């Protein structure tokens, strides 16, 4: 299934794509794509619904983040061997974890607004993982059983804030609008292998990132095993799993960063496309 949330920001309704790609309204069956709806039992109830029995959503509504009421937004850094190489960073021994504020989360096609004083805002196409059932001390062998599905995430990053304002990376990752998520949540049964997905990101029509999840240092299963050994993962928690090479920070001889009016477009195989225009905070 491809599950969608659509409508005005803060008032999104749940939806589902039918076999032809038409958006259907699920609000007669569930309140949101969140919480227990993401469990195996909750998703099985949605699978039992004939999409053609659902009302078609007319027009072209705004598409919101594909998960509502996100609990934890966990991010894994330097998780692609080819990205680590382009930045000159050592391969980490364990997954590098930081958090992105939930207030950064926006829809996949909403504007990305650079904060005041930003000079180094960068792009990062990433595979997002949505937890569906509670995970605590799980092994990598059964870790994927706890996944509701997958989505596209743009882990937008302000590199000066991230590295020069003292402290953790969170400062450069949590600015408002820095977490476009969606367009839809693709349930795990439709993703045969999360370690075999192609991805790309364009800026103003120029291909900047080309990669594949096969070059991840730590697989999705290994990440879930590691994180669930540190904290309980709950339904609706989101993990974004790192980015392939081609970020602005890594461009030689001089890094290239986003500016007002730039357009980012990004895609992951089977998970859809995002498109954002860059603006500036007033």
Residues 10 and 107 in one domain: no
List the CATH number of the domain containing 208.
3.90.850.10
Residue 164 predicted with pLDDT over 90: no
pLDDT digits (tens, 9 = 90+) for 176-191: 999 999 999 999 999 9
Residues 37 and 89 in one domain: no
Model pLDDT, residue 45 = 97
Residues 118 and 254 in one domain: yes
Find the mean pLDDT for residues 210-226.
97
C-alpha separations of 211 from 3, 203, 219 in Å: 25, 15, 15
Contacts of residue 8, Cβ cutoff 8 Å, sequence gap at least 6: 62
Residues 214 and 108 in one domain: yes
Residue 166 predicted with pLDDT over 80: no
Residues 241 and 164 in one domain: yes
Answer yes or no: is 121 within a domain. yes
Region of 58 on the Ramachandran plot (φ > 0 left; ψ -120 to 50 alpha; else beta): beta
Model pLDDT, residue 72 = 97
Residues 82 and 37 in one domain: no
DSSP 8-state class, residue 196: S
Answer yes or no: is 65 within a domain. no
Report the distance separating Cα 86 and Cα 78, nearest Å: 10
Find the mean pLDDT for residues 159-181.
85
Residue 172 predicted with pLDDT over 90: no
Residues 90 and 227 in one domain: yes
Find the mean pLDDT for residues 249-264.
95
Model pLDDT, residue 231 = 98
Q: Which of 85-89, 176-180, 250-254, 271-275 has the lowest mean pLDDT?
A: 85-89
Residue 98 predicted with pLDDT over 80: yes
Report the distance separating Cα 174 and Cα 258, nearest Å: 16
pLDDT digits (tens, 9 = 90+) for 41-62: 999 999 999 999 999 999 999 9
Model pLDDT, residue 170 = 82
DSSP 8-state class, residue 216: B
Find the mean pLDDT for residues 91-120.
95
Residues 272 and 180 in one domain: yes
Number of domains in the chain: 2
Model pLDDT, residue 169 = 80
Report the distance separating Cα 87 and Cα 244, nearest Å: 11
Answer yes or no: is 63 within a domain. no
Answer yes or no: is 130 within a domain. yes
Report the distance separating Cα 260 and Cα 211, nearest Å: 26
Answer yes or no: is 58 within a domain. no
Burial 51-77 (b: 16+ CB within 10 A, else e): beebeebeeeeebbbbbbebbbbbbbb
What's the domain range around 254?
Answer: 73-280
Model pLDDT, residue 32 = 98
Model pLDDT, residue 282 = 84
Report the distance separating Cα 65 and Cα 108, nearest Å: 7
Residues 38 and 79 in one domain: no
Find the mean pLDDT for residues 79-94.
84
Answer yes or no: is 251 within a domain. yes
Residue 87 predicted with pLDDT over 80: no
Model pLDDT, residue 85 = 78
Residues 245 and 132 in one domain: yes
Residues 85 and 172 in one domain: yes
Residue in the block written with tokens 């364009």: 202
Answer yes or no: is 30 within a domain. yes
Answer yes or no: is 276 within a domain. yes
Residues 134 and 43 in one domain: no
Burial 147-170 (b: 16+ CB within 10 A, else e): bbbbbbbbbbbbbbbbeeeeeebe
Closest by CA position to 104, among listed 79, 70, 128, 131? 70
């Amino acid at each position: 299934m491809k599950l969608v949330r659509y409508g005005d920001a803060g008032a999104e309704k749940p939806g589902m794509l039918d076999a032809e790609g038409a958006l259907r309204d699920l609000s007669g069956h569930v309140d949101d794509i969140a919480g227990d709806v993401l469990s195996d039992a909750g998703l099985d109830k949605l699978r039992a619904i004939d999409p053609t029995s659902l009302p078609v959503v007319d027009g072209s509504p705004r598409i919101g983040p594909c998960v509502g009421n996100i609990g934890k937004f966990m991010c894994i850094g330097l998780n692609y061997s080819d990205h680590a190489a382009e930045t000159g960073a050592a391969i980490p021994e364990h997954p590098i974890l930081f958090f992105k504020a939930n207030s950064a989360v926006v829809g996949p096609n909403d504007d990305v607004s650079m904060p005041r004083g930003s000079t180094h805002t960068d792009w990062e196409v990433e595979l997002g993982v949505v937890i569906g059932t509670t995970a605590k001390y799980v092994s990598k062998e059964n870790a994927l059983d706890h996944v509701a599905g997958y989505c596209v995430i743009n882990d937008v990053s302000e590199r000066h804030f991230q590295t020069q304002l003292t402290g953790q990376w969170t400062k450069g990752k949590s600015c408002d609008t820095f977490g476009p998520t969606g367009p839809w949540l693709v349930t795990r049964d439709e993703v045969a292998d999360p370690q075999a997905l192609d991805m790309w990101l364009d800026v103003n029509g120029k291909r900047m990132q080309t990669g594949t999840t096969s070059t991840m240092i730590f697989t999705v299963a290994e990440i879930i095993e590691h994180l669930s050994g540190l904290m309980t993962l709950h339904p609706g928690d989101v993990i974004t799993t790192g980015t392939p090479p081609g970020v602005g920070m890594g461009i030689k001889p001089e890094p290239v960063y986003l500016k007002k009016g730039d357009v980012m477009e990004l895609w992951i195989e089977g998970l859809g496309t995002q498109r954002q225009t860059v603006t500036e905070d007033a």
